[in-house]
Amino acid sequence: MTGEVDVAVVGAGPAGCAAAITLARGGAQVLLVDRARFPRDKCCGDGLTTAAARRLDALGLDPAAVASFRPAQELAVRSPSGRTVVLPLGRGPGVFAAVARRRDLDAALAELARRVGARFVDATRLVALTTARDGSARLNFAGGEEATARYVVAADGAWSPIRRMLTPPGPPAAARRPEWIALRAYVDHVRPVAAERLWVWFRADLLPGYAWSFPLADGAVNFGVCLPHHSGATLAARWGETLASPFVTSLLGPNAVLATPARAWPIPTGVGRVGLSGLGGRVLFVGDATCAADPFTGEGVEQALATGALAAQAIATAPPSPESVASFYGEAVRRSIGRDHRVSTWCRALFETSLGARGALRIVDSSDFSRRNVARWLFGDYPRAIVTNPRAWARLAWRSPGAFAD
């Protein structure tokens, strides 16, 4: 692996692959590394929003390359009172929502990066990141291998080892603690009602968190719960109570069995809580390493793809100095994801109580117009921040095709 490259991307999830694909397609020499052996499992709800699907389409991903890819047509949302609201996820050609196991999705993205020219090396762990004599970044890997790069894209997750390498000991705990934590398992032999649509429900003891059941192509579902990290109740207790609840028992059916052990993972949200660059601008953080997940839903795949693409664009098009690249990237993230996160934080406040959640879903269920457009807004067909810009509300009448339409 010893050698010089234009960009080293550390982490081959959606954020890292988006950066690697975009840069390699533009002619850059790209090294993409991941500490895991691919294909590998990744804790996630496996849901893909309209915005995520469109970004995958823009990268050139063929959904046929993702073995577990399954389009979804409807989202059923259940309030704490038991009211169920069914939201249509899109009209017209293309995919407006889907479910795909991250094991399959990430492997397909890494393969696409390799096909367009990036060098992909898995089962390789970064152990040190320093500045070389010429000002470039020097990367040292376990086993003694080394590489230098003009820029590094740090797509190494919520606990970002690269951030720890570059940050003095003892950063504030609030900057490191994720706002959400989730637990999920795959469930086999579920009833058809669970395998036909996406389900999300708000239990009083989970608010502002929620539970979900997302159907996969093989008939299984991804079942999970998401809670604020500061919740006093343990995640394991809430998991057991939710799984044993009458509604879940009825939804999944008497023959449902856990096909995998339940696994937990952190969901860091709120861009701005941590820095977006390091090493004098040579390092750009993307995905979970930037707390990019949505504060309202915890969804992070689209935001990971977005930050990866924005980092690549900054490296490719910003003035040729690390400080300028970092500034260009930071401003692009703040203008897009930062604005959406502020709106998502306000919306999350509505679901702090059962009364607020019931009232919000009652309004959503008041007409076909509200059901259709809330679904489009929730799944990223519209930016979150559209609710603060009345001049953009004319977009509610637009019906853009979904992803992979052609």
Closest to 32 measured CA to CA, from 116, 104, 102, 110: 110
| Whole-number Å distance between alpha carbons of 195 and 218 | 9
In three-state secondary structure terms, 199 is strand
Residues pairing with 131 in the sheet: 137
In this predicted structure, the answer to whether residue 136 has a pLDDT above a threshold of 80 is yes
State the pLDDT confidence band at 70, using cuts at 50, 70 and 90: very high
Angle (CA) 316-280-154 rounded to 5° is 60
- Give the tokens for residue 384: 């979150």
Strands (E), 74-188: 74-78, 84-88, 98-99, 119-121, 126-131, 137-141, 146-154, 180-188
pLDDT (0 to 100) of residue 167: 78
User: Residues 89-111: what's their mean pLDDT?
Assistant: 93
Domains and CATH numbers, the chain: 3-73+93-176+268-348 (3.50.50.60), 180-266 (3.30.9.90)
Angle between helices 50-59 and 14-25 (to 10 degrees): 30
CA distances from 357 to 184, 299, 321, 349, 350 (A): 23, 19, 48, 9, 6
| Dihedral (CA of 188, 194, 197, 203) sign | negative
CA distances from 124 to 120, 139, 144, 145 (A): 10, 12, 11, 9
pLDDT per position as a tens digit, 7-33: 999 999 999 999 999 999 999 999 999
State the pLDDT confidence band at 75, using cuts at 50, 70 and 90: very high
| Whole-number Å distance between alpha carbons of 290 and 271 | 6
CA 304 to the chain's CA centroid: 5
In this predicted structure, the answer to whether residue 176 has a pLDDT above a threshold of 60 is no
pLDDT (0 to 100) of residue 104: 97
Among 162-166, 234-238, 302-306, 388-392, the minimum mean pLDDT is found in: 388-392
pLDDT (0 to 100) of residue 330: 95
User: Residues 99-106: what's their mean pLDDT?
Assistant: 97
pLDDT (0 to 100) of residue 2: 66
User: Residues 359-383: what's their mean pLDDT?
Assistant: 88
Q: Mean pLDDT across the chain, nearest whole number?
A: 90
Closest to 35 measured CA to CA, from 156, 210, 185: 156
CA distances from 283 to 336, 343, 402 (A): 20, 28, 34
Best mean pLDDT range from 162-176, 361-375, 377-391: 361-375
In this predicted structure, the answer to whether residue 95 has a pLDDT above a threshold of 80 is yes
CA distances from 14 to 105, 195, 207 (A): 8, 26, 28
pLDDT (0 to 100) of residue 96: 93
State the pLDDT confidence band at 171, using cuts at 50, 70 and 90: very low
pLDDT (0 to 100) of residue 169: 58
In three-state secondary structure terms, 303 is helix
In this predicted structure, the answer to whether residue 395 has a pLDDT above a threshold of 90 is no
In this predicted structure, the answer to whether residue 342 has a pLDDT above a threshold of 80 is yes
178 preceded by cis ω (within 30°)? Answer: no
In this predicted structure, the answer to whether residue 393 has a pLDDT above a threshold of 70 is no
Residue 27, Cβ neighbours under 10 Å: how many? 10
| Whole-number Å distance between alpha carbons of 112 and 269 | 28
In three-state secondary structure terms, 284 is strand
In this predicted structure, the answer to whether residue 185 has a pLDDT above a threshold of 70 is yes
DSSP state of 338: I
- Give the tokens for residue 96: 């407006």
- Give the tokens for residue 298: 């915890």
pLDDT (0 to 100) of residue 383: 80
| Whole-number Å distance between alpha carbons of 224 and 39 | 22
Give the percent of the chain with pLDDT over 70.
93
pLDDT (0 to 100) of residue 228: 84
Residues pairing with 293 in the sheet: 269
| Whole-number Å distance between alpha carbons of 238 and 258 | 16
pLDDT (0 to 100) of residue 215: 96
Q: Which helix (H) or strand (E) holds 198?
A: strand 198-201
In this predicted structure, the answer to whether residue 148 has a pLDDT above a threshold of 50 is yes
In this predicted structure, the answer to whether residue 173 has a pLDDT above a threshold of 70 is no
pLDDT (0 to 100) of residue 350: 87
pLDDT per position as a tens digit, 285-341: 999 999 999 999 999 999 999 999 999 999 999 778 999 999 999 999 999 898 888
State the pLDDT confidence band at 389, using cuts at 50, 70 and 90: low
pLDDT (0 to 100) of residue 108: 98
State the pLDDT confidence band at 109, using cuts at 50, 70 and 90: very high
State the pLDDT confidence band at 117, using cuts at 50, 70 and 90: very high
In this predicted structure, the answer to whether residue 282 has a pLDDT above a threshold of 70 is yes
User: Residues 368-384: what's their mean pLDDT?
Assistant: 86
State the pLDDT confidence band at 172, using cuts at 50, 70 and 90: very low
State the pLDDT confidence band at 392, using cuts at 50, 70 and 90: low
pLDDT (0 to 100) of residue 197: 93
